[in-house]
């Protein structure tokens, strides 16, 4: 007999629709005792204002209010998720600095919740929230179910990243040559074009040629931005 995890993973791998994937995550959350769930995915680029995508089954009125009030900017669960991958349970203390947000969330039935983030080597971040309107989370419940909840975070991240990232970001790294990546690696270490030319035993003009191509392929405006973007995409590891 297949395990809960195996069945869910196979179901997620059989679809390329973000809504179908989220519906399966929603069903898994319900099976764990949560009537609400939300998943946010953040692309690593641009650094100044990363593109994000949110999926949730929260009440429509709350989703609208959350956006209008720009609660995302002050939500302590989001702030925690950016700093740590450790799960956190909703509490009065957690929301003490944003009483309006906490009061309004509760008025829409979002009274008890659990949050954990996920990050990968390419800089893509995700955050899964499981919530419900009644029954606070107990230590016994977490001891019994938190392994599944943590596994759901990782699986949701992998599955939704697979289908959402192509729409959030093109694949500018495709087409970079090995030499272009090599030049960017040395540039990331602070080497000048002259120093790179000596290291790779090529001319300075050739180094600059590779840099120019990388800048164009990565859709950036200069070498520094190209190096940062390549690093964020995991190309320099």
Tens of pLDDT, residue by residue over 31-53, are 999 999 999 999 877 777 788 89
Q: What is the pLDDT of residue 23?
A: 94
Fold observed for domain 178-232: Arc Repressor Mutant, subunit A (1.10.10)
Using DSSP, state whether 43 is helix, strand or coil: coil
User: Which two three-digit tokens encode residue 3?
Assistant: 């395990």
Say whether pLDDT at 174 is over 90.
no
Is the N-terminal amide bond of 33 cis, ω within 30° of 0? Answer: no
Predicted local confidence at residue 1, as pLDDT: 45
Predicted confidence at residue 234, as pLDDT, reads: 74
CA-CA distance, 200 to 148, in Å (whole number)? Answer: 49
Residues of the chain with CATH 1.10.10.10: 178-232
Q: Is the pLDDT of residue 223 over 50?
A: yes
**Percent share of the chain, pLDDT over 70:** 96
Q: For residue 224, which of 211, 206, 235 has the smallest C-alpha distance?
A: 211
User: What CA–CA distance (Å, rounded) separates 124 from 132?
Assistant: 27
> pTM of this prediction?
0.79
Q: Tokens 């019994």 appear where?
A: 144
The two tokens of residue 16 are 């390329």
Mean pLDDT over the full length of the chain: 90
pLDDT band at 165 (very low <50, low <70, confident <90, very high): confident
- The 3-state DSSP class for residue 112 equals strand
pLDDT band at 171 (very low <50, low <70, confident <90, very high): low
Least confident of 8-17, 61-70, 133-142: 8-17
pLDDT band at 63 (very low <50, low <70, confident <90, very high): very high
Cβ atoms < 10 Å from Cβ of 103: 10
The better pLDDT of the pair 234, 108 is held by 108
Instruction: Note the pLDDT of residue 37.
Output: 97
Rounded mean pLDDT, 104-110 = 97
User: What CA–CA distance (Å, rounded) separates 91 from 111?
Assistant: 9
Choose the CATH number for 4-167 among 1.10.10.10, 3.60.15.10, 3.30.450.80, 3.10.20.30: 3.30.450.80
**Dihedral sign, CA of 47, 122, 85, 161?**
positive
The two tokens of residue 150 are 């943590």
Where along the chain do the CATH 3.30.450.80 domains lie? 4-167
Is the pLDDT score of 160 beyond 80? yes
| pLDDT bucket at 126, cuts 50 / 70 / 90 | very high
Helix (H) or strand (E) holding 125: strand 125-132
What's the rounded Cα separation, in Å, for the pair 111 and 104?
10
């Amino acid at each position: 007999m297949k395990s809960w995890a195996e069945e869910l993973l196979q179901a997620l791998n059989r679809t390329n629709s973000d809504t179908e994937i989220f519906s399966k995550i929603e069903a898994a959350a319900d099976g764990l005792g949560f009537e609400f769930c939300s998943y946010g995915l953040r692309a690593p680029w641009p650094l100044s204002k990363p593109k994000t995508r949110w999926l949730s089954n929260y009440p429509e009125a709350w989703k609208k209010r959350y956006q209008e009030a720009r609660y995302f900017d002050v939500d302590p669960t989001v702030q925690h998720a950016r700093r740590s991958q450790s799960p956190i349970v909703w509490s009065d203390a957690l929301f003490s600095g944003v009483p309006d947000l906490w009061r309004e969330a509760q008025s829409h039935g979002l009274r008890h919740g659990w949050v954990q983030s996920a990050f990968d080597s390419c800089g893509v971040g995700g955050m899964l929230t499981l919530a419900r309107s009644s029954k606070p989370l107990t230590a016994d419940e977490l001891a019994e179910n938190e392994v599944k909840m943590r596994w759901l975070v990782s699986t949701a991240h992998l599955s939704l990243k697979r289908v959402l990232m192509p729409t959030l970001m093109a694949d500018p790294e495709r087409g970079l040559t090995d030499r272009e990546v090599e030049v960017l690696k040395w540039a990331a270490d602070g080497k000048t074009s002259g120093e790179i030319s000596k290291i790779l035993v090529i001319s300075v003009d050739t180094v600059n040629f590779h840099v120019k191509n990388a800048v164009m392929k990565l859709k950036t405006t200069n070498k520094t931005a190209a190096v940062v973007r390549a690093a964020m995409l995991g190309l320099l590891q």
